[in-house]
Amino acid sequence: MIGGLFIYNHKGEVLISRVYRDDIGRNAVDAFRVNVIHARQQVRSPVTNIARTSFFHVKRSNIWLAAVTKQNVNATMVFEFLYKMCDVMAAYFGKISEENVKNNFVLIYELLDEILDFGYPQNSETGALKTFITQQGIKSQSKEEQAQITSQVTGQIGWRREGIKYRRNELFLDVLESVNLLMSPQGQVLSAHVSGRVVMKSYLSGMPECKFGMNDKIVIDKQNKGGSSEEGGKSGKQSIAIDDCTFHQCVRLSKFDSERSISFIPPDGDYELMRYRTTKDIILPFRVIPLVREVGRTKLEVKVVIKSNFKSSLLAQKIEVRIPTPLNTSGVQLICMKGKAKYKASENAIVWKIKRMAGMKESQISAEIELLPTNDKKWARPPISMNFEVPFAPSGLKVRYLKVFEPKLNYSDHDVIKWVRYIGRSGIYETRC
């Protein structure tokens, strides 16, 4: 259980402090600030022990969130809780920044009151929390509304209200993926994985039942056993193996376990349907080929080629290649065929930006870096990192169908307007040089 929660700004000033249990004294707030935030050396561990009290902290931009406890608790749970707390706050007021925390002071206290009681996590689902959190202040409700709350709080479906009505039934589905890569200078993939999210926005009336299908390998293989061999050959190639996935609480897990079908009654508005991770057969949208040559002690020649590796009809956007330079760089000459490149002395890097790039293309940059002679340490050669955005899912995930059934109201699956979009972004996409 959690004894207390503190939120600090980067200077260590307390923005929020909520103590749940009496064993956490008032000096605990200061102990963490003095020992961790103001400590001279780098953070040694996300868990700090001060006077038999454990402080678990996470940082979001320049805000420190710390959970305090005196018990020997389950560390994974406390961290998971802090992440959830961040998610909930982000759902209410967007980015967690000092200004936002200060402006939503009351809201955060309300949330903390709701999410934890006596240090035990209670209710952390944004949708269900909305009933309890009264930012505008609910005066007094009619009998009908009261009954509704009771049914929602006690009932099976905590994430959706009854009686939602829309004139246009719409459904937005985004497949957002971030592809992570670590590649050796020789072009060998050291590690690669995609972590993806299926984010939905639903504006549907009533209590609809949805069914979501994708090219999951297990499902497709199962279907192929029954179906014709021709079909199997076609779709077998395009199925993907998902390493692990998590779902929003609305998804019926028992059905997923038995049939691997994803069916659910969606919450209203924004929510994240599932999260998944894949490591096999990842389409790496870009390859970076670095070539670094040291010419004497005061000159460095760098040539970097990037190749786009996807269908030529697609366009990648917001491409940025960051080539680190040594600390003793005195001047840089750059030649690039496409986009704009600039040497940023403050960041010790050459930043090469390309607005758009089609698939199956190649582009290169060459740089001559002049160095000041020093006796400093050998340059550690940090990896070349890359950012981009592509309009497909690097894991190969495809949405096969998304069906909506609402037996009580008279609208059917094809009355619903559905929008599907794929966005692949770079996570940590690094090539060593």
Partner 1 sequence: MPYLGGDDAVRELRRALSNPNVQSDPLRYRNTILKVIRSMSQGVDVSGLFSEMVKACATVDIVQKKLVYVFLCSYAALNPELSLLVINTLRKDCQDPNPMVPHHTRYPPLVEYVEQPLTAGLRDRAACVRRVAILGWAKLYNLQPTSEIDASVVNELYSLLRDPDPVVIVNCLRALEEILKEEGGVAINKPITHHLLNRLKECDVWGQCDILRVLQRYKPQSDDELFDILSLLDASLVSPHPPVMAATLSLFLHLCPDLPAVSQAALERVRGPLLAACGSASREMRFTALCHIQLLLRSLPGLMGAHYKRFFCGYAEPAYIKQRKMQVLVELVNDENVVMLLDELKGYCTDVNADTAQAAISAIGRIGRSYSDRCLEILTGLLGLKQDHITSAVVQTMRDLVWVCPQCSDTVCVALEGCEETLQDSQGRQALLWLLGVYGERVSSAPYTLEVFIDGVRSEASLGVKMELLTTAMRLFLCRPAETQDMLGRLLHYCIEEETDMCVRDQALLYYRLLHCGIEETRKVLHGPRSDPSLGVLIGRPAEPISQWASSFNTLEPLRQVAVETESVSRGSPEHVTTDLSVTLSGCRVHDVRSGDLSPSPALSPEEFERLWLQRQEDFVRLEERVRCPAVPHCSPQSLQAAMQLLNIQTLAFTPPHALPWRVYLYTHTQHTHSEDTLCRTLILGELLLKVTLQQQPRDDEALRGFLSILTSVLHTLTPESE
**Which range touches partner 1 (CB under 8 A), out of 210-218, 233-241, 349-357, 425-433?**
425-433
Q: Does 120 bind partner 1 (CB under 8 A)?
A: yes
Among 35, 195, 235, 366, binds partner 1 (CB under 8 A): 195
16-45 positions binding partner 1, by CB under 8 A: 16-17, 19, 21-22, 29, 42-45
The contact pattern for partner 1, residues 51-90, with x = CB under 8 A and - = no contact, is ---x-x-x-------------xxxxxx-xxxxx-------
Cα 308 from Cα 53, distance rounded (Å): 52
Q: Which residue has the tokens 């179906």?
A: 227
Instruction: With residue 147 as reference, give the H or E element that holds it.
Output: helix 143-154
299-318 positions binding partner 1, by CB under 8 A: none
Cβ-contact 413, 232 below 8 angstroms: no
Q: Does 10 bind partner 1 (CB under 8 A)?
A: no
Q: Crossing angle of helices 229-236/217-226, nearest 10°?
A: 170
Cβ-contact 129, 91 below 8 angstroms: no
Q: Does 343 bind partner 1 (CB under 8 A)?
A: no
Among 31, 90, 245, 315, binds partner 1 (CB under 8 A): 245
Q: Which residue has the tokens 């459904």?
A: 171
**Which range touches partner 1 (CB under 8 A), out of 141-149, 215-223, 351-359, 366-374?**
141-149
Q: Does 137 bind partner 1 (CB under 8 A)?
A: yes
**Which range touches partner 1 (CB under 8 A), out of 189-197, 206-214, 289-297, 396-404?**
189-197
Q: Does 91 bind partner 1 (CB under 8 A)?
A: no
Q: Toward partner 1, which CB reaches closer, 279 or 366? A: 279
The contact pattern for partner 1, residues 369-398, with x = CB under 8 A and - = no contact, is --------xx-x-xx---------------
Cβ-contact 205, 169 below 8 angstroms: yes
| Beta bridge mates, 249 | none
Q: Does 141 bind partner 1 (CB under 8 A)?
A: yes
Among 162, 221, 231, 244, binds partner 1 (CB under 8 A): 244
Within 13 Å, how many C-alpha atoms sit on residue 53's CB side?
A: 25
Cα 385 from Cα 298, distance rounded (Å): 24
Cα 127 from Cα 285, distance rounded (Å): 36
Among 62, 134, 223, 312, binds partner 1 (CB under 8 A): 134
For residue 121, how many other CB atoms are within 10 A of its CB? 16
Which are the contacts of 30, defined by CB distance < 8 A and separation ≥ 6? none
